[in-house]
């Protein structure tokens, strides 16, 4: 299956309520104008990488709704509506149903009490890894595994290392054999067999990067991680993430990406 080969994306504009989104540090208040600028730079980078971007209207009732990765998964043949594990986000999947139906003939969905955040789902060459976390429960992971099996895709359910919000908080796939990861993720052994580029301990959040076609998107404040990737001949686009990071979020969260044809 194509891992980095994309020509379409869905994003959602940040609502003004985004500053009230979920975050672990209640004293780090995000700046709305700053989030708008960072989101605009992100959309420009997607377009610069060759993607057509479907921009959805903001949803003020759902402060975290700009993070469209958590309530859905997309593949060339189908989309899957998830159920985010935070109660304040439970309505977001329904708001994505119609936009996804415009792009996909098949839209599947998890059911009541089956909770999965897309941030806990990492696609690798051999399987789709689903992480159990505070936001993804065993019933949800098992239900998602069954849906993916119906699409012919193998899965592996793992436990997210302690202290991590999501599986992809600590790891990003850079190519078919290489992960960008934190030391904590590497020591967990969840991705044994992959080559690992370790982010510096002072830049753990840099592990929430994404590869889009031939480019790795990385937060612009992670200079040492950028240099490490450049040394390994990865093409890097640095993007501002200062305000978005205050919402415990990163670059993978803000889009759904796939190849339509």
> Model confidence over 178-194: pLDDT tens digits?
999 999 999 999 999 99
Q: Given a cut of 80, is residue 2 above it in pLDDT?
A: no
- Residue 27's pLDDT is 84
Q: Given a cut of 80, is residue 227 above it in pLDDT?
A: yes
Contact criterion met (CB below 8 Å) for 240 and 220: yes
- Structural domain boundaries in the chain: 8-258
Class of domain 8-258: alpha beta
- Residue 176's pLDDT is 96
Contact criterion met (CB below 8 Å) for 217 and 45: yes
Catalytic annotation, residues: 166, 253
Give me the mean pLDDT over the 144-149 stretch.
98
> Model confidence over 72-84: pLDDT tens digits?
999 999 999 999 9
Which of residues 25 and 156 earns the better pLDDT score? 156
Which three-class secondary structure string do you get for 35-83? HHHHHHHHHHHHHHCCCEEEEECCCCCCCCCCCCCCCEEEECCEEEECC
pTM, rounded to two decimals: 0.96
Question: Closest Cα partner for 37 from 242, 226, 207?
Answer: 242
Phi and psi at residue 255, to the nearest 5°: -155, 155
Q: Given a cut of 80, is residue 1 above it in pLDDT?
A: no
- Residue 26's pLDDT is 85
- Residue 261's pLDDT is 67
């Amino acid at each position: 299956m194509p891992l980095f080969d994309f020509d379409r994306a869905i994003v959602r504009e940040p609502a003004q309520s985004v500053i009230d989104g979920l975050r672990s540090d209640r004293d780090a208040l995000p700046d709305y104008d700053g989030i708008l600028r960072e989101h605009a730079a992100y959309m420009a980078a997607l377009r610069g990488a060759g993607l057509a971007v479907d921009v959805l209207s903001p949803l003020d009732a759902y402060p975290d709704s700009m993070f469209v990765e958590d309530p859905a998964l997309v593949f060339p043949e189908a989309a899957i509506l998830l159920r985010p594990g935070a109660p304040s986000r439970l309505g977001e999947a329904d708001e994505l149903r119609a936009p996804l139906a415009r792009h996909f003939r098949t839209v599947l969905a998890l059911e009541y009490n089956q909770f999965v955040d897309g941030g806990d789902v990492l696609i690798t060459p051999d399987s789709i890894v689903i992480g159990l976390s505070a936001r993804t429960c065993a019933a949800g992971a098992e239900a998602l595994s069954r849906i993916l099996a119906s699409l012919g895709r193998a899965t592996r359910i793992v436990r997210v290392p302690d202290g991590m919000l999501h599986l992809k908080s600590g790891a990003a796939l850079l190519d078919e054999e290489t992960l960008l990861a934190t030391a904590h993720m590497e020591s967990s052994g969840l991705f044994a067999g992959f080559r690992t580029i370790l982010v510096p301990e002072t830049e753990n959040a840099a592990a929430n990067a994404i590869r889009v076609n031939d480019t790795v998107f990385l937060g612009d404040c992670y200079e040492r991680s950028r240099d490490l990737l450049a040394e390994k001949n990865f093409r890097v686009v640095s993007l501002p993430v200062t305000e978005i990071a205050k919402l415990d979020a990163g670059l993978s969260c803000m889009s759904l990406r796939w190849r339509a044809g």
